[in-house]
Amino acid sequence: MFSKQAGQKVPVLCVVDNGHGMTYAQMMRMVSFGHKGPNEHCQDQIGRFGIGFKTGAMKLGRDAFVLTQTSTSRSVSFLSQSFNENKDNLEIPVVTYCKKDQYMEVDLSVQSEATAEYNLNAIKKFSPFNEYFIGEKVGLFGEEGTGTQVYIWNLDRWGTNYTLEWNSQKTDESPDSHGNGDILIRSRRVRSRPGQTNGNVPLDYSLKAYVEVMFLNPQMKITVQGSPVIVCHLEKTLRNTSVLSGEIMGRTIQLTLGTSDVEWGRMNRGIFLYWHGRLIESYKRVGAQKHNADTGRGIIGVADITNLIDDKDGHTWVLNSKQGFQDCEIYAELEEWLGRKTDEYWDANFDPLNSVREYESVYVEN
C-alpha cells in the first residue's frame, strides 16, 4: 500500500471478515480507550475492558484504519500515532454514514457535516485512504456487503527489517499459488516455559499455526495470505485419549488427555487451556513435565476452564493480554490437579524404561 507520509509503498497487515459489521455505537466502543466491563448481554465475548484492540494494534504498528459496514450503515475510524504525534489530547477520527435508498450519506444524527469533513480530511492526509479507496475496499465484503476490515501499517521493526514476515509461497514458476501462505514473527523466538528444551514451537511465531488451534470448537473459515487454514478440534487430533472430570474448589472441570505424534516429533508437551472457547495458554507444563525432557513427551491436554476462572460477580482471572491467567488460589489448585492427572496418564500408558523406544517406533511408522 502506498504511504503518502513515507512516499513509497509500505507493508500492511490486513484482517478482513464478512460478518455483520459494527454499528456506530459498536465502533466507538471498539476504538474508545476503556470501559467499565463486558456487555451484560454478551457474557461469552472475550473482550472485557476495551483495551485489547488498541494495545494489540499499536503493538504491531503505529497506524490502524478500521472500515466496518452493516446492512444500513458504514463507519470508518483512524487510530494513529502519526496523526496524534506531539498532541496533548488524543484524537480518533471517525466518520459514519447511513444508508438512504441505494447510497451512503453522512449520518447527521451522530455527527455534524463539519465534524465528518474534518475527520475525513485527517484520514486522507495521514493515511492512504480516501473516499475512492474506501469504496474499493467495500467490494471485499462479498455478496452480503457487510463485515469489518482492519489495516495496520508503519509496522514495528526487528533490527533493520519488519517484525512480521510474509510468506505467500508464490514463486516465479507458480505466481498464483496459494498453498501454504503464512505470516510469521521474524525472530522465531518461542515463549519461555518450564522444561522448554527446544525452539520448534510454530504456534509461538506462526499465525497459521496459531489460528489452527485458536478456537476450541472452530466454526469459521479462515485464510492466511490467501491460503485456507485447516482449523481443527485439537482434542480430535490426539490418540489414546482419556476424558477426565474433576472438581476444584467446588467447580467442575473436564480434561482431555492424549498423545500427539506431531508434538512427539517436536519434543513438545503440555496442556492447552481455553477460556470461552478461545486459546489462552498453550503447552503448559504440569507435574513431571516441568522437570524431565522425556517424561510426558508428546502428551497434550485440552481443557476449557471458563467455569473455574470466571466469578459470579463478573470478575475473571484472565490477563488483559489474553495470553495467560492471573496467579490466584484456584489457578494454583488447577495446576496441581492437572499435574496429578497428567502424571497418572503417563504412568498408565507408558513404560518409563521403554517409552521413548516404543513411541519412536510408532512415530516412524506413522
Could you give the percent of the chain with pLDDT greater than 90? 64
Determine, yes or no, domain membership for 167. no
95-111 pLDDT tens trace: 999 999 888 999 999 99
140 and 7 within one domain: yes
**Global pTM value:** 0.86
103 and 6 within one domain: yes
Average pLDDT over residues 321-335: 91
Determine, yes or no, domain membership for 210. no
Quick one: pLDDT at residue 243? 97
Determine, yes or no, domain membership for 170. no
Among the three residues 155, 170, 197, which one is the final residue of a domain in this structure? 155
Strand partners, 252: 247
Among the three residues 155, 179, 206, which one is the final residue of a domain in this structure? 155
Average pLDDT over residues 27-37: 75
Among the three residues 120, 155, 190, which one is the final residue of a domain in this structure? 155
Least confident of 114-123, 244-253, 304-313: 304-313
Determine, yes or no, domain membership for 105. yes
Question: Looking at the predicted structure, is the pLDDT value of residue 174 above 70?
Answer: no
Quick one: pLDDT at residue 49? 47
Question: Looking at the predicted structure, is the pLDDT value of residue 143 above 60?
Answer: yes
Determine, yes or no, domain membership for 276. yes
CATH, residue 279 = 3.30.230
Kindly indicate the confidence band of residue 217, based on its pLDDT and cuts at 50, 70 and 90.
very high
Determine, yes or no, domain membership for 316. yes
DSSP H stretches of helix in the chain: 24-31, 52-60, 81-84, 113-126, 131-138, 207-212, 261-265, 306-309, 329-349, 355-365
Distance CA 179, CA 227 (A): 6
Determine, yes or no, domain membership for 214. no
- Provide the domain count of the chain: 2
Determine, yes or no, domain membership for 229. no
Quick one: pLDDT at residue 79? 94
Quick one: pLDDT at residue 41? 41
126 and 244 within one domain: no
248 and 148 within one domain: no
Kindly indicate the confidence band of residue 357, based on its pLDDT and cuts at 50, 70 and 90.
very low
- Nearest 5°: phi and psi at 329? -60, -45
Domain ranges, residue 39: 2-155
